Structure formats: C-alpha cells, structure tokens
Amino acid sequence: MDDPILLRYSRQILLPQVGYEGQERLGQSHALIIGLGGLGSPVALYLAAAGVGRLTLVDFDRVDLSNLQRQIIHRTDRIGRPKVTSAEESIAGINPLVQVTCIDQALTGDALARAMADVDVVLDCCDNFATRFAVNRACVATGTPLVSAAVIRLEGQLSVFEPRVADSPCYHCLYGEGEETAETCSRNGILASLPGVMGTLQATEALKLLLGLPTVRGRLLLLDALAMEWRSIRVKKDPGCTVCGGG
C-alpha cells in the first residue's frame, strides 16, 4: 500500500482486529450485492468505503422518485437511470480504488451460480421472497457465505448463513418457501432511516466475515425500531431442510 491508500484506511487499520494484513485481505475480497435499494445502498457505500476490492452489483430496476426517501446511494438527477450505474457512480465518488461490475438484470439459475464463482460473500438486499430463496439455494450449492437483512414498516431483521460451517442453518431452515407473504414497502410503508440501520449492520457482518471475525451466524436479530428494542433468536440447522439438510 502506498501512503494515500494507508491514509484512506488508517482509522480502520488501527483496529487490532484489522491491521495492515486485514486491510489487504479486504482489498483482495469480492462481494456480490443483490439489490441496490434501501438495504443495498448503505451496504454498497460502506463496503466500498471500507476498501473491499471488488463489488458486483445486481439490480434490474431503474431509479424512481419514490426510492429517494430511503435509497441514499441514488440522486434526484439520476431518476430513470439503471440503479446499478447510479450506484457505481456514487461508489466511484467515495472510493475510486474499488473495482465495480454492474449486472443490470435479474439473475436466476445458472447465471446466478456463475455470478458466485469467485465471490467471497453474498449480500441479499432484495425485497422479495422468490429471489431470497433462489439466492440461498445458490449460496448453499456454491458454499458461499450469505448475509441477509430485511425491513418493513418500523421492523428489521438480520442473519448470517455460512454453508461451509457444518452446523450453520440456511435461509430455508428459517423460512420455508411455503411461508411467503405479500408484505412490501409499497404496500406497508417504511421509515426512511430503517434500511440504513439494517444495511449498515449487514455491511458490518460482511466485513467481519471477510476479516475472519465472529458473526451472528446461528442467530436471527430482530429490531423493533418503534420501541427501539432488539431480540436475538437462536436458529438451528434443520436436518430435514430440502436445501442444506438431508431432507
């Protein structure tokens, strides 16, 4: 690292849990971010700011005026543009050292698996169950760690799934695919700052995972932002899970 790079990351390098070697490890890491909305916005910005070397951004949507209340990576003058290119521009403004790949389409099947070929962590920042289940199946199949968060109204949740760890549950262990609901932000509303809270925590868990630090694997964190109360629920691997178990 040259002097400007050391200065950029100096406050993080000071941490004994990071140091020079940890910062280099982040610089050699590759994160796949699925969804550049309320959660994906702080995730992408903080992973870039922290020095994660490669980010692959996936979103097929365009920036809409209704997004700007919470999707802080986008700007008013980018309305109508692809979210991935809007996000890429914001990332370049924060850290031009980060290599960004944009995928302006939904990923399914083999394309999703291929996108995970050299990825160190996947961040599920999407807003629908079908994509969440597909991402989970691909992560289990490829052994790629998954950091998942969700927000609605004044409530949030967060968990980490590590398929390479024998006793780690997967997303399907937690939510069977028959439990899908129709709750969305467009129907139920959401407080502007809540995706920022959960997305920032999502980025924190991803950074800890990339640095080899303990994560919240095996726990589901639930936030009631109205009461400002957290709950932590233990989640065990389901031996009958049809995705990661023997079922």
The residues assigned a catalytic role are 185
Question: CA–CA distance from 242 to each of 39, 105, 134, 159 (Å)?
Answer: 28, 28, 13, 20
238 within 8 A of 173, measured Cβ to Cβ? yes
Indicate the DSSP class of residue 39: T
Rounded to whole angstroms, the Cα distance separating 47 from 52 reads 6
The DSSP-derived string for 106-158 is ---HHHHHHHTTT-SEEEE--S-HHHHHHHHHHHHHHT--EEEEEEEBTEEEE
